[in-house]
Structure 1
Amino acid sequence: MKRIWDISPQVSEQSPIFPGDEPFRLKWTARLSADCPVNLSAITMSPHVGAHADAPLHYANGAASSAEVELQAYLGPCRVIHAINCGPLIQIEHLRHAAALMPARVLVRCCQSADTEWNPDFSAFAPDTVDWLAGLGVKLIGLDTPSVDPASSKLLASHQQLLRLNLRVLENLVLDEVAEGDYELIALPLKLAGACASPVRAILREL
Structure 2
Amino acid sequence: MKLFHIFSLLLCISAFSLATGRRLAAGPVAPVPPAEHREVYADGRLFDITHKVSKDTPTWDSKEGLGQFLSPLASIKNGSAVNAAEVKMSVHTATHVDSPAHVFDNYADAGYDVDSLDLEVLNGPALLVDVPRDNNITADVMMSLNIPKGVRRVLFRTANTDRHLMFKKEFDSSYTGFMKDGAKWLVENTDIKLVGLDYLSVAAYAEALDTHLEFLANRETILVEGLKLDNILPGLYTLHCLPVRLVGADGSPTRCILLK
TM-score, normalised to structure 2, is 0.71
Structure 1 residue aligned with 2:138: 91
Structure 2 residue aligned with 1:69: 117
Matched position secondary structure for 1:62: helix
Superposed CA deviations along residues 66-105 of structure 1, whole A, max 9, x for unmatched, are 1222222110000011015233x21344443441355200
CA contact under 8 A between 1:114 and 1:145: conserved in structure 2?
no
Q: Could you tell me which amino acid in structure 1 is paired with residue 54 of structure 2?
A: S
Runs (5+) with no aligned partner, structure 2: 1-41
Matched position secondary structure for 1:73: helix
Runs (5+) with no aligned partner, structure 1: none
Matched position secondary structure for 1:200: strand
Asked whether 1:131 is paired with 2:178, we answer no
Q: Could you tell me which amino acid in structure 2 is paired with residue 76 of structure 1?
A: G
Structure 2 residue aligned with 1:16: 58
CA–CA distance in structure 1, aligned partners of residues 249 and 47 of structure 2: 27
Which has the larger displacement, 118-127 or 30-39?
A: 30-39
Percent of residue pairs identical = 27
Q: Which has the higher contact order (CA 8 A, sep 6+)?
A: 1
Structure 2 residue aligned with 1:60: 104
TM-score, normalised to structure 1, is 0.88
The structure whose residues are more often strand, as a share, is 1
Bigger radius of gyration among the two? 2
Q: CA RMSD for the aligned pairs?
A: 2.3
Q: Which of the residues 35, 47, 50 maps onto 1:5?
A: 47
What aligned pairs does 1:34-183 form with structure 2 within 5 A after superposition? Answer: 35-63=79-107, 64-87=112-135, 89-95=136-142, 96-111=144-159, 112-115=162-165, 116-117=167-168, 118-134=171-187, 135-153=189-207, 156-165=209-218, 166-183=220-237
CA contact under 8 A between 2:132 and 2:141: conserved in structure 1?
no
After TM superposition, what 4+ stretches of structure 1 lie above 6 angstroms from structure 2?
none
Change (3 A) 1:152 1:125: closer
Which has the larger displacement, 27-36 or 11-20?
A: 27-36
The structure whose residues are more often helix, as a share, is 2
Matched position secondary structure for 2:205: coil
